[in-house]
Amino acid sequence: MSDRNLTLLTDLYELTMMQGYYKNKNRDIVVFDTFFRRNPCGSGYSIACGLEQIMEYVKKLKFTEADIDYLRSLGIFEADFLSYLKVFRFTGDIYAIPEGTVVFPKEPMVKVVAPIIEAQLLETTILNIINHQSLIATKASRVVYAAKGDGVMEFGLRRAQGPDAGTYGARAAIIAGCTGTSNVLAGRRFGVPLAGTHAHSWIMSFPDEYSAFMSYALLYPKVCVLLVDTYDTIHSGVPNAIRVFREMKEQGYELSNYGIRLDSGDLAYLSKVARHMLDAAGFTDAVISASSDLDEHLITSLKLQGAKINSWGVGTKMITSDDCPSFGGVYKLVAIRDEKTGRFVPKIKVSENSEKITNPGNKTVFRLYDKNTGKIKADLIALADETFSNEKDIKLFDPVDTWKETLLEAGEFTVKELLVPVFREGKCVYESPDVMEIREKCKEEMDTLWEETRRLVNPHKVNVDLSDTLYDMKKEILEDFPDVKMKNRVR
């Protein structure tokens, strides 16, 4: 999958705009921000994911002869522009928030600084990658949180929207804390743990349930989790599983990673009865795993009902983010460099919907932590040339409800800049950690959130504020914007 060239994975209008820039000799250096407006799934946070694939995409960005021939066949691109595409390379800079990092609305997750003809092409593919993988990582993080320390296995490949969604979705789920995936290609591609049991068809292919269980146990004695709900969970499945575990022990096999899986029925009731039966037979360390259209809400409910499940296989509702199928990330022009001064002139998108008014200028993001607890106090979006430290007080205020203020006193907080350089002048300068390292980073990131922010329903909102300089600049632009004044008068 990483060997593919994704150059034509774009919307047609990106290419038609590129031709327009080329014909108009527009070589402006611009800044585009990738950000989202709302956390998905009712969450109080999101997880940044997808940067490694963006890096692969940009490194391989090249129009092949076959690509050029196809574009020529469309009849809308002129010969000189197609000749330019033959030698096209990305020459700009990219900054990004590393994968596994907790992020919040309006923050630039990826910032592209490049000639406009190059930056424009990147829009669709960056959004495709960031939107999908950040969505699944955020959903998976919520599922892992609901499991309260139990292992969560990603089982969604067969229900994912295609091979890429299943494979990169599995990667995102692992980053967010899942212990393994059933997706063998993801296991090979990303070096992540694989997990799985067997299907009902295995049971049904044998003359009886006991024979199916025993055959499977003899094949895989070190990882023996038996699916017990094919015929009758309580009166057949669990008793046959216990019989097999007992006979395996008598034959000298050491049972270490073993147990049963429930895939249907009343999971709370069945798990309680199964736990009693397993314990009474002396198999107190046997795992009880469950699947069956689980999500964070059902897992929470089962926990509240006292279910004795300690391992969860989650598929459809996690790999598709069933309750929120899109992330909503956008890619907006926020600044153009003045050729004479070399300074970036801020640009803004204005809307009657205040949520859609962009933050102008070449920016960065600072995270402010409570020095004693390590928890996030707030995030601060600032201009790229601004600096902040814990040596001076910082007064934060809500950029909408400006009367809401918070004073962070010097020495009581720590500061970290989130955006890191990924490409410089077209060359990659960032090395992506492997998936399991990113997973550990994500786990550390989760520890920086207050529990009130992690709760699944009505979470506490983390403040994302603007620096004084950025706020004043945005306010001045809006006040001087003639169309805004006209609309206000009409209203």
The backbone torsions φ and ψ at residue 31, rounded to the nearest 5 degrees and listed phi first, read: -120, 125
Pairwise CA distance, residues 243 & 223, whole Å = 17
**Residue-level pLDDT at 27:** 92
Give the per-residue pLDDT at 236: 98
Q: What is the structure's pLDDT at 1?
A: 56
Nearest in space to 173 (alpha carbons), one of 198, 151, 188: 151
The two three-digit tokens of residue 185, written as one number: 């290609």
Question: Tokens 């044998």 appear where?
Answer: 206
Domain 12-137+325-490: CATH class, spelled out: alpha beta
Which pLDDT does position 4 carry in this prediction?
84
pLDDT at residue 480, as a whole number: 86
Q: Strand 363-370 relative to strand 464-466: parallel, antiparallel, unpaired?
A: unpaired
HSE value, Cβ hemisphere, 13 Å, CA-based, for 29:
16
- Out of 3.40.50.300, 3.40.225.10, 3.30.420.10, 3.20.20.70, the CATH code matching 144-319 is 3.20.20.70
Contact criterion met (CB below 8 Å) for 155 and 315: yes
Give 303-356 as a DSSP string.
HHTT----EEEE-HHHHTTTT-----EEEEEEEEE-TTT-PEEE-----SSGGG
State the span(s) of the chain assigned CATH 3.20.140.10: 12-137+325-490
Residues of the chain with CATH 3.20.20.70: 144-319
pLDDT along the chain (491 residues), means of 10: 85 98 96 98 98 97 98 98 98 98 98 98 98 98 98 97 97 98 97 95 98 97 96 98 98 94 98 98 98 96 98 98 96 97 95 88 98 97 96 90 90 97 98 98 98 97 96 93 55 44
Q: By three-state DSSP, how is residue 151 classified?
A: strand
Question: How many angstroms separate the CA atoms of 292 and 312, rounded?
Answer: 10
64, 82 in Cβ contact below 8 A? Answer: no
Amino acid at 189: R
Cβ atoms 262, 271 nearer than 8 A = yes
Q: So what's the pLDDT on residue 2?
A: 60
pLDDT value for 486: 47
How far apart are alpha carbons 186 and 435 in whole angstroms? 11
- The one-letter code for the residue type at 364 is T
